Amino acid sequence: MQQTNQIDELLKLLTYPAFSVHDGTVTHVNSAAYQRQISPGTEIAHLLHTGKDAYDAFTDGRLHLQLCVADTVWNASVTKAMGADIFLLENTADSQELRILSLAALQFRFPLAEIALLTDKLFNDEALKGSDIPERLNRSLMTMQRLIGNMSDAPRYSRNANCAMQNRDIVAFIEEILEKCKALAEESGYKLELIIPVRELFVSFSPERLERAIYNMLSNALKFSPVGSTITAKLEKCKDVVMFTVSDEGPGLPENVTGNIFTRYLREPVIEDSRFGMGLGMMLVCATASAHGGTVLVRQPKGKGLSVTMTLLAKPGNPGDIRSNIIHVDYSGGHDHALLELSDALSPELYKK
């Protein structure tokens, strides 16, 4: 009885729709969830839109998946507490916050472009020869461009709009990205270990979204890892699911960050460690997983470090059909993708003109 009261009190504190599940059945709901036609006694299997296998195997950490409630698809995070699975729902398909970010990003692009032009001139300034100011400024500009790009694209990603799929060898695609990241990480003082036991695998996926998701996962690992430590990137296939995991040896995340890791862009502004950023990177990772019928699992293994796993449904593709007819616009504005996406984690030395 005491545990039941504790769960009820916890759910009442949550403003978003939330409910608890025990033995596969919804047991408690808050008023926001009840208003959306979620009621005790409902079998969770009937609500799962993506991530059934991931949820069945879920034992700890925080899992991102999707539910279908009253014909509406919701993003949801799941965590274990007080002997139950606590589900927290969030519908970002038409988020006012994301639209505001996108409009702000549009205004930032113009002054940023002018600053970039002026920065180019600094690399030819004799007075700055031998100084690291130009490359530090160049790296900061790329970091700003990356942030503005995330702000601009967040609404499109959350709605799964313009998600152009291609049938390609996903192993070769990811391996190429990781090999480039490995070289850059080593030049910045880190070791990137690659574990890729699976070979050629043709599936349908969005190259742009998958690339950006991978870079975001690696960027987070680099930012929070001490120089000299090892970051592990692992690509696996289990049944009909492709699993990509990035693990680091950093300090892990404090509870106040872990608790809202999938929706940090919605939090109230506070002064905190700047490495946490706006939280849009993890939103893009989750949106990428959802667009491919997958999930995201964040775990803190005992000891130290953080492990983030993104899964994608391995829908078979035809090796002969490897290109989309949709016109592709380079999201980086012509910059090197790896240098742009990892700009807040790499050494300034890599940003010399």
- pLDDT given at position 237: 95
Residue 147 · residue 340 · CB < 8 Å: no
Closest CA to 145 of 280, 345, 341, 281: 341
Pairing relation of β-strands 241-247 and 84-90? unpaired
Alpha-carbon radius of gyration of the chain? 21
Tell me the HSE value of 160 on the side-chain side, using a 13 A CA sphere.
15
Low-confidence spans in the chain with pLDDT less than 70: 1-2, 91-107, 109-111, 114, 118, 123, 127-130, 161-162, 254-279, 303, 317-329, 353
* Distance in angstroms (rounded) separating the CA atoms of residues 225 and 190: 8
- Please tell me whether residue 211 adopts helix, strand or coil conformation: helix
- Please tell me whether residue 256 adopts helix, strand or coil conformation: helix
* Distance in angstroms (rounded) separating the CA atoms of residues 208 and 163: 9
- pLDDT given at position 282: 87
Q: What's the pTM value of the predicted model, to 2 decimals?
A: 0.84
Q: Could you identify the residue written with the tokens 């929070």?
A: 224
Give all strands (DSSP E) within the chain, no chain letters. 18-22, 25-29, 48-50, 62-69, 72-81, 84-90, 166-169, 191-195, 202-205, 230-238, 241-247, 296-299, 307-313
**What is the number of other CB atoms lying within 10 angstroms of the CB of residue 222?**
26
* Distance in angstroms (rounded) separating the CA atoms of residues 291 and 289: 6
Strand partners, 241: 238, 313
- pLDDT given at position 344: 87
Tell me the HSE value of 336 on the side-chain side, using a 13 A CA sphere.
14
- Residue 153 sits at φ, ψ, to 5 deg, of -90, -10
Amino acid at 214: I
